[in-house]
Amino acid sequence: MAAFPEYLTEAQRVPDALAELGELVKQPDANVIKLPNISASVPQLTAAIKELQSKGFAVPDYPADPQTDEEKAVRERYDRIKRQRGKPCPA
């Protein structure tokens, strides 16, 4: 939801935890452990989007076949989220 703040009301917005994690891993004393199965398949992602929408969150649909510039931008934002992962660091 943090990736689409312009689609949400002020009360629905949440901090960008992935951006915070990105800053945290730059710290010399950071120790981040990646858990398995962190990424979701497209069907899981679309199901999660539908669930959020049913609860009043106006996040955009995942465009399976984006045609417009807006659809391509939305798809890229979702795909960027899917590609992000925590990186394990030696203890």
- Give the tens place of pLDDT for each residue, 13-56: 999 988 888 899 899 988 776 655 556 788 888 998 999 999 99
d(CA 42, CA 57) in angstroms, rounded, equals: 19
pLDDT for residue 87 is more than 50: no
Mean pLDDT, all residues of the chain = 84
Measured between alpha carbons, how far is 30 from 74 in angstroms, rounded to an integer? 31
The residue that leads in pLDDT, 83 or 85, is: 83
- Among 78, 56, 59, 75, which residue's Cα sits nearest to residue 67? 75
Measured from the Cβ of residue 3, the count of other Cβ atoms closer than 10 Å reads 15
Neighbours of 74 (CB within 10 A): 20
In percent, the amount of the chain with pLDDT more than 70 equals: 82
